[in-house]
Amino acid sequence: MAASLSSTAAGRHAALPSYAGLRRSADASPTVVLLSNVGRSRPRLPQLVVRASKSSPKLPSGRRLRVAVVGGGPAGGAAAETLARGGVETVLIERKLDNCKPCGGAIPLCMVGEFDLPLDIIDRRVTKMKMISPSNVAVDIGRTLKPHEYIGMVRREVLDSYLRERAEKNGATVINGLFLRMDKPAGPGQPYVLHYTRYGGGGAGATGVPSTLEVDVVIGADGANSRVAKAIGAGDYEYAIAFQERVKISDEKMEYYKDLAEMYVGADVSSDFYAWVFPKCDHVAVGTGTVIDKGDIKRFQAATRLRAGNKIEGGRTIRVEAHPIPEHPRPRRVLDRVTLVGDAAGYVTKCSGEGIYFAAKSGRMCAEAIVEGSEGGTRMVDESDLRHYLDKFDKTYWPTYKVLDVLQKVFYRSNPAREAFVEMCADEYVQKMTFDSYLYKRVVPGSPLEDLKLAVKTIGSLIRANALRMEMNNLTG
């Protein structure tokens, strides 16, 4: 969330080199991206869209395009629902139907509307947020939220089951199984053969039955350790390790967090990320992450608990969880009739570590491209159909990823820079731009005068930060 400052002054006017993995489309942003323009639609000449008529073979009558979605998190659930609704024969394979994905579970408001999420699956509606600096200066950053606006807090076991069950209601077949590997098609138009262990509902620990499944298309929605990605030689990505504890605190202490989330920055809690206390139904999720000092994750977690101090004191840890977070997209995201979505593809934003919305959106966009390319499941698709999804995703979100990447580099590099970052967060204009871009995944046009004032302020903060750093270096020799 912190980094939803994406649309604001930080790094404004910075020249942004091409971002690893995500392809910058020809008509996306110019070489110099004005952050205030990110997401703004630029005037375009009317375009003549020429679509070649489909040359892929029509499937025999009575047979539909068969798609396997491997993994039933937000990416897989959203993909399977869209495919099934679009007339495609859809199988979703999930290894653990009660999976509690380690996750802060913060989702933007637009996700609730776009994915038609019922309010009862949202544990808390956060309307207040505190950003806390290395020297424990706390800035309230939710002041510009309108009365109906909030950040949703979900438990992933609840959200993921809901999306999977909805996919099932719309016609997808959900299999409780562990995907192992797949055989490539023996020739053009031939099926992929998926090998998996089928469980009788007892979860990944139960004895399973070796099984196979023939499909035309495979979507890898199996998260950061994706086996589908390995199967297509998608290549590796840099990753952060994130650690989280679910801490049950007293009702009185919970009252403080009922609609409040906290984010801590500082070298004590992470060298390159932020730490958080997010409220859930009857507990708080306390966690942190790091890319560069993975071996220190437990020390960072201990420091996070110390910083939260007596607000969580006496709490009982009911769950300890850790998981990798991808840092950038994989070098390859499609091969023939196999593609990747969500964390399997590497769609988590830097700086904020946000991935739930992008997982669900990529799953849905991918499925839409398949439904369209197969004309409602009646034709075979090929790699070019899957590339439509990648083009659309990259074009829509490339600037967001890029800006958050820059923000992380500018503001998470030292404690003085973090102090400057928190100071900047006190600005109402920054807050408005931040929340608008985070909650709605779009950037409202900024005010040129406010933009200028903010740029001057930011530069001032950074100069002060650098001056402070030099002073500290002098003091420590």
Interface residues with ligand FAD (CB under 6 A) are: 70-76, 93-96, 99, 101-106, 178-179, 221-223, 227, 242, 244, 287, 323, 325, 342-344, 348, 353-357, 359
Q: Please report how close the Cβ of residue 289 comes to ligand FAD at its closest, in angstroms.
A: 6
Q: Please report how close the Cβ of residue 399 comes to ligand FAD at its closest, in angstroms.
A: 18
- 179 vs 397, beta carbon nearer ligand FAD: 179
- 9 vs 126, beta carbon nearer ligand FAD: 126
Q: Please report how close the Cβ of residue 98 comes to ligand FAD at its closest, in angstroms.
A: 10
Q: Please report how close the Cβ of residue 350 comes to ligand FAD at its closest, in angstroms.
A: 12
- 343 vs 436, beta carbon nearer ligand FAD: 343
DSSP string, 70-85: E--SHHHHHHHHHHHH
The answer to whether residues 80 and 167 touch, using CB atoms and an 8 Å cutoff, is: yes
Q: Please report how close the Cβ of residue 115 comes to ligand FAD at its closest, in angstroms.
A: 13
Q: Please report how close the Cβ of residue 308 comes to ligand FAD at its closest, in angstroms.
A: 16
Closest CA to 368 of 343, 342, 393, 348: 393
The answer to whether residues 106 and 2 touch, using CB atoms and an 8 Å cutoff, is: no
Number of alpha carbons in the 13 Å side-chain half-sphere of residue 123: 24
Q: Please report how close the Cβ of residue 388 comes to ligand FAD at its closest, in angstroms.
A: 20
- 8 vs 362, beta carbon nearer ligand FAD: 362
Q: Please report how close the Cβ of residue 12 comes to ligand FAD at its closest, in angstroms.
A: 25
- 247 vs 380, beta carbon nearer ligand FAD: 247
**Beta strand pairing status for 89-94 and 66-70?**
parallel
**Beta strand pairing status for 334-335 and 338-340?**
antiparallel
- 73 vs 279, beta carbon nearer ligand FAD: 73
Please tell me the distance from the alpha carbon of residue 147 to that of residue 439, in angstroms, as a whole number: 13
- 327 vs 450, beta carbon nearer ligand FAD: 327
Q: Please report how close the Cβ of residue 111 comes to ligand FAD at its closest, in angstroms.
A: 9
- 402 vs 457, beta carbon nearer ligand FAD: 402
- Give SS3 for 353: coil
Eight-state DSSP code of residue 322 = E
The CA-based dihedral angle spanning residues 174, 120, 113, 126, taken in that order and rounded to the nearest 10 degrees: -120
The answer to whether residues 440 and 108 touch, using CB atoms and an 8 Å cutoff, is: yes
For residue 5, what is the enclosing H or E element?
none
- 4 vs 461, beta carbon nearer ligand FAD: 4
The answer to whether residues 325 and 289 touch, using CB atoms and an 8 Å cutoff, is: yes
Burial of 146 (0-12, 13-18, 19+ CB in 10 A): exposed
For residue 167, what is the enclosing H or E element?
helix 156-169
- 227 vs 441, beta carbon nearer ligand FAD: 227
One-letter-per-residue 3-state SS of 25-56: CCCCCCCECCHHHCCCCCCCCCCCCCCCCCCC
Q: Please report how close the Cβ of residue 233 comes to ligand FAD at its closest, in angstroms.
A: 17
Please tell me the distance from the alpha carbon of residue 83 to that of residue 367, in angstroms, as a whole number: 5
Beta sheet of 106-107, edge-to-edge order:
106-107, 151-153, 124-126
- 179 vs 398, beta carbon nearer ligand FAD: 179
Please tell me the distance from the alpha carbon of residue 158 to that of residue 181, in angstroms, as a whole number: 28
- 39 vs 287, beta carbon nearer ligand FAD: 287
Q: Which residues of 292-331 are buried (b: 16+ CB within 10 A; e: fewer)?
A: eeeeebeebbebbbebbeebbeebeeeeebebbbbbbbbe
Any residues with CB less than 8 A from the CB of 269 and at least 6 apart, and which? 275, 288, 300, 303, 304, 307
For the record, the structure tokens of 419 come out as: 């102090």
Q: Please report how close the Cβ of residue 92 comes to ligand FAD at its closest, in angstroms.
A: 9
Q: In the complex, which residue's CB is closest to ligand FAD?
A: 355
Q: Please report how close the Cβ of residue 174 comes to ligand FAD at its closest, in angstroms.
A: 11
